[in-house]
Amino acid sequence: MKHGKKYNAAVAKYDLSKKYDVTSACKMVQDMKFAKFDETVEAHVSLRLEKNTTVRDTLVFPHQFKGEKKVLVFCKGDKVKEALDAGAAFAGEEYIEKVKDGWLDFDVAVATPDMMKDVGRLGMVLGRKGLMPNPKTGTVTPNVAQAVAELKKGRTEYRADKTGIVHIAVGKCSMDADKVVENIRTLLSEISRKKPTGSAGAGFVRSVSVSSSMGPGVWVDYKEGE
């Protein structure tokens, strides 16, 4: 694959065939950024997963770096006021029809269990955008106030793709490197905690790398249990 001069100049700064501790890797990624915008720092965690198993959950990073999310809650009755009081941008059962008509002016959707029969019919719309409420990620729940509060604090979903790799944003290049490091350690701790039953003991995390949006990846010398 051919790369531009700026990318090649960034690569020339370090030996990217080696592994570095998390702190050094993050500082290298920030040092190699070359885009004019504030690039996102991304982590890529390759897992050794058994057949028909995966890893999927949510977490709240200790240091936030994204704008506040607009939360929609599909609910009715007293839950509408509960959701709005907690900070939801929109709440109510009437939004089912709005979404069906193509309205998608929100970042994340939550639903109470009793609404899922109707919300499930929006699969073609919400599923395509990755917005369908799911009990595995805490977005189908009777406790809408707690869900909204956590989402507004930056609760983020992570999941392994078909190749067993978790790709997730962990910060911005403009952030203090120590804050990005703490976010990465939080992520790795959460992933290790969600290791499926029956998965390999040592070696569940196959490899870890970090990169900026446009820059090269840096291998992390990570050992499980750190």
Strands 108-111 and 90-91: unpaired
pLDDT at 224: 58
Q: Please state which of the ranges 72-76, 108-112, 221-225 shows the lowest mean pLDDT.
A: 221-225
**pLDDT of residue 13 exceeding 90:** no
User: At 155, phi and psi to the nearest 5?
Assistant: -60, 130
**Position with higher pLDDT, 75 vs 150:** 75
Partners of 184 in the β-ladder: none
Note the pTM of the prediction, 2 decimals. 0.72
Strands 56-60 and 155-159: antiparallel
**Position with higher pLDDT, 182 vs 223:** 182
The predicted model gives 180-196 an average pLDDT of 91
Tens of pLDDT, residue by residue over 129-147, are 889 999 988 899 999 999 9
**What does the block give as tokens for 62?**
């200790």
DSSP character at residue 157: E
CA distances to 12, 135, 170, 186, 209 from 206, rounded to whole Å, are 26, 28, 19, 17, 11
